[in-house]
Structures are given as C-alpha cells and as structure tokens.
Structure 1
Amino acid sequence: MHDQPILKVRNLNRQFGAGCRHCINAEDRSLTKNYCESCGTVYACQNISLDLFAGEILGVVGESGSGKSSLMKCLYFDSEVTSGEVLLDDEELRGQNLFEVSSQKKRYIRNYKYGMVYQNPVHGLKMNFSSIGNIAEKLIAAGNRNVGEMEKIGKRLLETVHIPIFRMKEEPRHFSGGMQQRVQIAKALSNNPPVLFLDEVTTGLDLSVQADVLDLIKTIQREFGISMVVVSHDLAVIRMLADRTIVMLNGEIVEQGLTDQILEDPSHKYTQQLVYSLL
C-alpha cells in the first residue's frame, strides 16, 4: 500500500430535508438517531471523512439505516451530496473536488475510473441484454468501438468471474443470483478501474454462493490490485475481505481502524455489540 490515498473523502454530508433551528447546526443537533423530530430532516451521512489507499479493501459496516448505502450512492454519483469533498489521485483529476465537477465529467469518471457492483443486480445490469452485451455496453460508454476487441475483453472477463463462455450470449435474467453478481463484477471491471465499489454484494445469496463470490472478490483484488470499498451489514464478510474497516451508526463514523483490531478489541459500545452478536 502507498502512503498517498487513491481516494480521499472529507466532511461528506447528505441530508434529506431542509433542516430547522433544532438540527441545522452540526455542533448542537438534537436528533433521534439521525432524524430531527421537529422538521423531519434525515441526516443520512454526517461529516464522513475517510481514505482509501492503493490496493486496499476498505470495509464499511453498520446496521440498516446507518448511512453506509447513502455514502456509497454519494461516492458513485447516484445521489447528490449536501456538502463535502472527494479527491481522486489521478493525473487528469488531481486537485478537483469530484462532487463539484460537471455531470459530463462525472459520467466520464463512472465510465473510466470507477466500477460499481450493486446489491441488486437489476441496478447494475440490463437483464434483457446478453451477458457479453452488458460488458460491451460499459466499454462503448467509455468510447470503445472495436467489436472484435470488445468481444475479446468480454470473454476474458467472463472467464475471470467463472461464467462459462458458451453462456455469454444468454441474458442475466436466466441466471442464478450468484451468477448475476459475477456478471455485474465482470462489467464493473471492464475498463480496469482503479476504484471498485461493492454494496452488500452477498445479501440474499445462499451461503455457499456467498463464499464463492467473496472468494472471487479476493482473487480479483489480488490479481488486478484494485482498491475497493466494500459495504456490508455482515461482519463475517468484512472480516474475510477488508484490510481496514469503518463502523457507521446513525450517519456517523463511530470507529475505524485495522479490521483485525476492530474485531478483536472494539472500543465503541455499538461495535462491541456488533462483534459479540457474531460470537
């Protein structure tokens, strides 16, 4: 791992609602969990700062409603931030707050610099396209026009994620959940992005299929050296994948550190509850 973060997030805030005198001031907010009872504003992400280093898997863990998926949506530009800064260590984009660039540039970043694997494959795949067609779609979005080259890349990626080549013309809607996730991973990898986001990718899969998908993610990380942010409510997933972990509760980071350290000696009461519920 390098000393310089590849992705740097500072003071990210995402709120739903305008806020009122009881909650607008971050210092003396009066909230129930992350909800203002006076005006109904929800503070999904509160002052989130994190670093992702080259070749690292960063885990983000927390219960449902903790803000981890909101964080992911903001980072991948699926959702607008209220305020904050994100910097990518990239020659073309260095020094620019990516939350403030044009929508055209955001599209460019999603096509070239980021990959995303959603919890529900329906959000990441076109279910009525062939599997290889889904990969080609991402390549075309990034400006590739060479059909032969796209087919070669598509086949290689499907092999990488263990989808049989004879099924490459099949539509993902005919596949099992685990296979759909693997096609999604192949599509996300198609432009060799330096950063990959994975949002609850094993939720709803059978345990044996979960193990296969997690194993695949580990292998890809080793082979491609991609930096990953992995969101999960499941500490067993985080334990297997993440080098470092951030624990979120009510839209805030309550603890962060090396995964082993957090799981063996959690300091925050909420993390302790999470860890002990695993034992």
Structure 2
Amino acid sequence: MTSSFGGTAAKTARFADDERPALAASHVSKRYGKGCARCLAPQAVLDRNICPECGTVHAVRDVSLEVYPGEIVGIVGESGSGKSTFMKCLYFDEEATEGDVRAVPFDGGVANLLELSPQQRRAVRNNVFGMVYQNPYLGLRMDFSSLSNIAEQMIAASCREVAAMRGRGEELLGKVSIPLSRAVDAPKLFSGGMQQRVQIAKALSNNPPLLLLDEVTTGLDLSVQAAVLDLILQIRREWGASMLVVSHDLGVIRMLADRTLVMLDGQVVESGLTDQILEDPQHAYTQQLVYSLL
C-alpha cells in the first residue's frame, strides 16, 4: 500500500514496534568562542548566554531530546534562544562544539552523527533528514524551476533516472498544492507560502524518515500559515514521518507538537507533553509564553 506522499506502509510500520527514538540528541552544545574556566564550569552563571569574563557566546547549552517514530516534537523560544542553532547543528549547517546525536534510520543508532565523515554527513542530509528553513532562499535555488529543485535533491541521493525525478516531482508538487502548470516556474516568482510548500516538497523527495522544520510559518499570512500547518499534519498522518519543529510561536507548537521543549538563553528550561505545558507551565518564561497566548 502506498501513501499519497509516496512512502510505503512498510516504511511507517518499520518503526511502529520500535521503542527506540528515531532521533536522540544528548548534551549538544554550540559555543562561539574558546570559553574560559568560569563559563565552562558546571552550572556557570552567564549574562543571558554570554560569558561576562571572556565574551564567549553559548548559543546552545547542553541540550538533549528524543524524537520517537511518528512523533512531532516542538522547540519554542524567543529569538536568540538557541533553538534554530540547535537545529542547524543537527543538520550540519553548524558544527556542534560537543554532543552526541544518533539516528536509528541511518545505521540503527550506532554512530554519533556529529563524528561522521563529510561523505557520511551528506548521506544523512540526503536520505535521513528533510530540512525546511524559515527563509526559503536557504533551501531552494530560486532561479531553478520547482521540478529542478526536487530533482537536485534526488540526484544528491544518487537518483539518475530523469523520468523518475519528473514523476516524483510532479507527484509532490501536486500533494503540496502547487499547480503543475507552475512546475517549471522558478520559486522566485512564487509567494512566500508557495515557496515554503516547494521547500516541503523538496524535503520529501527522498522519503526522509525525519523532517526538520525551522520557523516554517514565520512571516506568512494567517490563512497561508493555516494551510502550511495542515499540510505538515497531513504528512505526519499519511506518511508517519517523525518531525522536529522549531518556532517562536506557541500557537504553532500547540497545533503540531506532541511534546515540547522550551528554550531560553541556549538552555532547555522546561519540557513535557504539550498539553501539560499549556495547562500547567512551571517556569516563569513558559508562563509568560502561555499567558501571551490566552
């Protein structure tokens, strides 16, 4: 049985009885600067996320999370909280300073992804992760056609059949509601919402079991936001993909995420079931976020 997004029922079932997380990140940190005895000490007290002594910026501080098969995990926090930097470390756009990241779909979770060779990292990016950036200009070649963008991702995963790439591209564009009459148009000619949907189609091109979504609705009109969020839920429902969703908007996280982590100044200050966090926030910053949603 084939889902409408081109994955197979067997693909979803592959993780159905696996109690291990599809993605497990442990103690991931990202520092800009060498650090010093003061800021590298356990429980170091910083000025927000900056060391007042050496000036090192601790963008991500000892973040751990797990994403289980078919689960959507949200990370919420204000601008500068470290949530997008953490996501970029997972996707190798940034080099993590330290940490351990395992992905069952890659090698059964044997290797720390942060220690892979460049060639192995490309394999992870092209086959295990699908990335959708806040800024479509980071995820798309704006002067290439939408079909060419999807084909580029498939070529990176060693597909060489033109007919297969065209067929897959047309299928995915249809599923994300891009008219096939626009398939040969460049994304620079599209609205922001259409660009995000082309990014999602590109991210799905190689059937990745893990999707990384970074502020995918920021800057979009409310009606367009709703359409993109509905599409994300449809992908999870029909394909069973695991997702990590980063947003500064708790409303987006409330709609999408099963579990949520709240980040502030590079650290996780609260985590738990999304409903639990919304109904009974414990940290003062989380309370502020929740009350602003009411």
TM-score tier, shorter chain, comes to over 0.9
Q: 1:5 and 2:21 equivalent?
A: yes
Corresponding residue for 1:85?
100
Corresponding residue for 2:35?
19
Out of 248, 259, 274, the residue aligned to residue 289 of structure 2 is 274
Structure 1 residue 137: deviation in Å?
0.3
Structure 1 residue 24: deviation in Å?
1.9
Q: 1:76 and 2:70 equivalent?
A: no
Match of 2:22, SS state, is strand
Identity of aligned residues (%): 60
Structure 1 residue 20: deviation in Å?
1.6
Using structure 1 for the length normalisation, give the TM-score.
0.98
Query: Once the two structures are superposed, what CA deviation does each residue of 1:197-231 show, in whole Å capped at 9, x if it has no partner?
Result: 00000000011111111111111111111000000
Decide whether aligned partners of structure 1 residues 137 and 197 sit closer, same or farther in structure 2, where only a CA change above 3 A counts.
Answer: same
Q: 1:98 and 2:113 equivalent?
A: yes
Match of 2:290, SS state, is helix
Q: 1:32 and 2:47 equivalent?
A: yes
Corresponding residue for 2:201?
186
Distance 1:13 1:196 in 2: 21
Out of 29, 35, 49, the residue aligned to residue 64 of structure 2 is 49
Pairing 1:155-174 to 2, within 5 Å after superposition: 155-174=170-189
Unaligned segments of structure 1, at least 5 residues: none
Structure 1 residue 95: deviation in Å?
1.1
Unaligned segments of structure 2, at least 5 residues: 1-15
Out of 199, 222, 242, the residue aligned to residue 257 of structure 2 is 242
Structure 1 residue 93: deviation in Å?
5.2
Distance 2:79 2:135 in 1: 16
Structure 1 residue 22: deviation in Å?
2.0
Pairing 1:121-140 to 2, within 5 Å after superposition: 121-140=136-155
Corresponding residue for 2:6?
none
Letter in structure 2 aligned against 1:47: D
Query: Once the two structures are superposed, what CA deviation does each residue of 1:159-209 show, in whole Å capped at 9, x if it has no partner?
Result: 110000111000000000000000000000000000000000000001111
Given that 2:106 and 2:124 are in contact with CA atoms closer than 8 Å, whether structure 1 keeps it comes out as: no
What is the alpha-carbon root mean square deviation over aligned residues?
1.0
Corresponding residue for 2:190?
175
Distance 1:165 1:103 in 2: 36
Using structure 2 for the length normalisation, give the TM-score.
0.93
Query: Once the two structures are superposed, what CA deviation does each residue of 1:116-150 show, in whole Å capped at 9, x if it has no partner?
Result: 00000000000000000000000001100000011
